[in-house]
Structure 1
Amino acid sequence: MNADPRLWTLPLLLAATPVLAQEMHDPETLDRAIADAYRANPTLEAGRAQLRALDEQIVQAGSPYRLTVGLNLNMQYRQQDQRTMLDQFGTVRSRTMGATISASQILLNGGRTAAQVSAAEATVLAGRERLRETENMILYGVVDAYASVLRDQALVAIQTRSLDSYGRQVDQAVARERGGDLTRTDIAQAQAQREIIRAQLAQAQANLQSSRARFAALVGRNPGRLAPPPPLPGLPNTLETAFQVAEKESPALWQATLAARAGDARIAAQRAERAPIVALTGGYGYASPYSYQLRDAGAQATGGISVTMPLLAGGLIGSRIRAAVAERQQLGFEAETTRRQALTEVQDAWNQAVAAGEQQISGRIATEAAEAALTGVKRGFQEGFRSNFEVLDSEQRLLNAQIVATNARYAGYVAQARLLATLGRLQAGLLETGVAVYDPAANARAVKKQVFGPFDPLLAPIDRASRPDATAKPPAMLPVATAPAIRPAAIAEPPGTLGQAVPVTPAPALPAPSFTELSDAVVTGGSPAAPR
């Protein structure tokens, strides 16, 4: 499936326009384009920043393990008028101030924190896979844009050569018409074909600029003269191997799988809400209850152990558990959907690469045959044995064969890149050994070092041991259909004429449903707006 770099040589030689001729020195390579895009592509940089934000979730989830200390400073003035024993109002004034340092440390958390940390870790790992998927897609776009520029340069050169050839054909037709060998009809045929090619050349030139713009958007600079791309590493030998690699390495599939694992942890976290929380609290400070004078301030200390456990929560905890279970079921189904999509993408990319290889062979054979046929037809035309129409037809056949071969070279190479991107193997570290590879785990390690938790080594194992079970019963599936059949259609096809206008005039506002209607709709499974 590897494309032969020599297949790109002919289009590059045909594409040697005056602008490219000035750039014959130092051709630009695909690996350099990949390295530049990997270093500074804004979409990829945004994905890395998003992952760094996710890394903070691990610190936030594990914060209950760590000691919290706070400082409370207060100064208060209070004035109140109240009736005295002499039936007169007197003013009572009080001044207080104080400073207290308080500390709190959870001793037992019922597995809440362990489950939340597990969910955060799974979310971070899923984020790394999302970043890997983004990297593969960005580099796939670079390969696509690189090959598109080469393809469009070749197509412009082919169309330019064809336009020149048809121009000469028109000139010959005009000269021979003066000599009486051809008619005005022959001239008109040649002119019509020349203008068709001129229009196709204009579109090819526009396509080339579009491909160059895509290259610039992804890589960060405009392309120069591009060298033929090398064979892409990491391609599987068989389609069965590609399927196996996708099951093991696909970043999209891993992302969905890790999201499901985070869902498991969230179930455990919600179940842990029923467990008691044991915390140790304490404080020490100075307070002056009568004045703002420091000499009136006296020391005070507090300390205690608190146990908090919900007895009746109004159904809130149970509802959150059921919601977490349903969310986990959703994530499981989405993981299966992602797996099927990945396998479908693998097969489609593989088939496109195989088909492009066959098209390259056919296009090369067709080009050689069309060139030989055109040479013979031109010779016969000069000797009077062939018509002008046959020359034009042979020119068009050669043009079509060259376009097929060029498009096949592009499609085959890009299909290989798409296959690698689906498998998760189109990465800068595999394609360019000189590029500095971004470490997605480095920030997580640095973040963990910035927090201080002296009791983490003791509390984390205890909390993990008390973590509730995260398993849930599988969702109830619909029974298998016994005799499925579509109901008979009332009409075979929509009758009437084509619609000419959309009724976009403002419609009258519907009355808002009452609370009773909303409650009935939830219980019955209907809609509050549905007729009864």
Structure 2
Amino acid sequence: MLRGYGFKAALLSAATGVWIATVPMGAASAQTLEEALVEAYITNPTLLAQRAQLRATDEGVPQALAGWRPNVEFTADVNGVRSRLKTSATRTESTRMTSGVQLQITQNVYDGGATSAAVEGAKADVLAARADLVSTEQSIMLDVGTAYMDVFKNQAVVSLNEQNVVRLERQLEATRDRYNAGVATLTDVAQAESRLARSRSDLSSARGDLEVSRTVFEEVVGIPPTNLSLPTLPLTLPAGRDEAKSMAVERNPSVVSAEFDRRAALHGIDEQEADLLPSVDVSGTASHDWDKSTKGSFQRTYTVTAQLSVPIYQQGYETSQVRESKMTAAKALQDVETARRSVTEQALSAWETYQSVVAAIVAIREEVRAAEIALDGVQQEELVGQRTVLDVLDAEQELLDAKVSLVQAERDETVAKFELISAVGGLTARDLGLDVEAYDPALHYDSVKDTWWGLGDDVETHDSDAKAAAVQP
């Protein structure tokens, strides 16, 4: 969870009359936002692919550690030689069969610090990849939250438009009755018919938007939305603008990843400079050779060799690599600053968006209240002839527009919360307190970092294990 800051609690809900009145609430089979987040956390292929990428990056550490480990090689050979010597007086033929086996062990004793630098660089790469995984996880959680709220909002808009169509159908029928009674005019009937046709068009458009949002939901979550419930997932937000900024710079995974990339680049300089230093290798060889042409003939040889290699001049290639690595590190340093500025802008923008949406909701709720009062007054005045049917239709449309605006604003408020929490680095399964066992990247890393031998499991097994590790037993 987000700790160490004076957070103010924010309940992720939109418990207004508009939401409650327009969205069916089937409690027994309702699909909650938390369930959608958990489903995506377990099954989303983008997230699973990023976990696999991290496991691949883990292998960089044992690969770097290989520089400190011996190289063992066994060879065997069999040779056959058949010779024929012919002179003017004689002709001689002979056959010689030889065979041998050899075991050679080579161990590097000193490599100028190349292995040490490679190991530290690989570890930094792993930590950067872990931050990239967090970034992907946050992106998926944000996509799920946005898709969920889009479906929920569009359901409410469809319901509002359905209610409006029913109301206008009744109003048209009543206007026709009044026309037949000589109270209303043909113009009143035409206006009611026009407004009903418009409402049916709006309903068709709203249903189309709902289907599009349902498709996006299924793409992100992996299952279709079914009877979404009112979101009540508790969230914690930064207490203020300055806190949002400081948290983003400290916790946002983009900054964390850039910082570890910078460290890896610095170790890369040391690794390249090691190519300019001497290296020492020690090797031992044991061989056994047989000569089949001579019964009982064999030879055993044991050799120990120490080799010192001192680079003098390598055509300028290694020195160019050193210069290149320094420029790579310089770029990585600027990438850190770029990431900090980017997340700062992201956090402050998300904060301001959230604040503006909250303020807008207050105003729109007042607009809805005023529109309801106005509609009631216009309807009463229309009964006594002080208002026309068009006035009533306009008042009803204003109320509908206000309610739709409120639904949209409350959707925007929830999404703004998600965006703000993502900007400060807290939109993960662990921080959200989801009912799922968080994926632990250290498990695979610890299992392979000191491995001397082994080919690992099949690809399918790794995918299954990745999903199993994310499911709470």
Q: TM over 0.5: same fold?
A: yes
How far apart are the structure 1 equivalents of 2:17 and 2:437? 31
From 48, 51, 55, the counterpart of 1:52: 55
Matches within 5 A, 1:359-378: 359-378=360-379
Q: Residue 273 of structure 1: CA displacement?
A: 0.5
Residues 2 and 231, structure 1, Cα contact 8 Å, conserved in 2: no
1:388 is matched with which residue? 389
1:481 is matched with which residue? none
Q: Which moved more, 1:420-429 or 1:405-414?
A: 420-429
Distance change (3 Å), C-alpha of 1:357 and 1:48: same
How far apart are the structure 2 equivalents of 1:110 and 1:93? 51
How far apart are the structure 2 equivalents of 1:230 and 1:308? 68
Residues 125 and 264, structure 2, Cα contact 8 Å, conserved in 1: yes
Question: Are 1:74 and 2:77 counterparts?
Answer: yes
- Alignment RMSD: 2.4
Q: C-alpha deviations, 1:150-173, integer Å up to 9, x for none?
A: 111111111111122222232233
Q: C-alpha deviations, 1:140-196, integer Å up to 9, x for none?
A: 112112222211111111111112222223223322333333333333322222222
Distance change (3 Å), C-alpha of 1:92 and 1:178: farther
Q: C-alpha deviations, 1:444-500, integer Å up to 9, x for none?
A: 111124228xxxxxxxxxxxxxxxxxxxxxxxxxxxxxxxxxxxxxxxxxxxxxxxx
Q: Which moved more, 1:413-422 or 1:32-41?
A: 32-41
1:472 is matched with which residue? none
How far apart are the structure 2 equivalents of 1:44 and 1:294? 68
Matches within 5 A, 1:69-468: 69-78=72-81, 94-230=96-232, 232-288=234-290, 290-291=291-292, 295-432=296-433, 434-451=435-452
**TM norm structure 1:** 0.79
Q: Which amino acid in the other structure matches residue 169 of structure 1?
A: Q
Distance change (3 Å), C-alpha of 1:215 and 1:80: farther
Structure 2 residue ranges without an equivalent (≥5): 1-8, 454-473
Distance change (3 Å), C-alpha of 1:88 and 1:232: farther
Q: Residue 90 of structure 1: CA displacement?
A: 8.1
Distance change (3 Å), C-alpha of 1:85 and 1:278: farther
1:13 is matched with which residue? 21
Distance change (3 Å), C-alpha of 1:294 and 1:397: farther
**TM norm structure 2:** 0.88
Distance change (3 Å), C-alpha of 1:295 and 1:204: farther
Residues 232 and 417, structure 1, Cα contact 8 Å, conserved in 2: no
1:63 is matched with which residue? 66
Residues 62 and 117, structure 1, Cα contact 8 Å, conserved in 2: yes
Residues 27 and 229, structure 2, Cα contact 8 Å, conserved in 1: no
Q: Residue 325 of structure 1: CA displacement?
A: 1.4
Residues 8 and 228, structure 1, Cα contact 8 Å, conserved in 2: no
Q: Which moved more, 1:331-340 or 1:366-375?
A: 331-340
How far apart are the structure 2 equivalents of 1:25 and 1:110? 67
2:464 is matched with which residue? none
Residues 149 and 411, structure 2, Cα contact 8 Å, conserved in 1: yes
Q: Residue 427 of structure 1: CA displacement?
A: 1.2
Q: C-alpha deviations, 1:355-406, integer Å up to 9, x for none?
A: 1111211111111111111111112212211012211110111011101110
Q: Which amino acid in the other structure matches residue 170 of structure 1?
A: L
Q: Which amino acid in the other structure matches residue 202 of structure 1?
A: S
Q: Residue 433 of structure 1: CA displacement?
A: 5.2
Residues 12 and 153, structure 1, Cα contact 8 Å, conserved in 2: no
How far apart are the structure 2 equivalents of 1:320 and 1:183? 89
Q: Residue 230 of structure 1: CA displacement?
A: 2.2
Q: Residue 6 of structure 1: CA displacement?
A: 5.3
SS state at 1:48 partner: helix
Q: Which moved more, 1:249-258 or 1:218-227?
A: 218-227
Q: C-alpha deviations, 1:331-351, integer Å up to 9, x for none?
A: 222222221111111111111
Residues 15 and 156, structure 1, Cα contact 8 Å, conserved in 2: no
Q: Residue 13 of structure 1: CA displacement?
A: 3.0
Residues 14 and 410, structure 2, Cα contact 8 Å, conserved in 1: no
Aligned length: 445
Instruction: Choose between structure 1 and 2: higher strand proportion.
Output: 2
Q: C-alpha deviations, 1:294-322, integer Å up to 9, x for none?
A: 94332122210011122111110111111
How far apart are the structure 2 equivalents of 1:397 and 1:277? 82
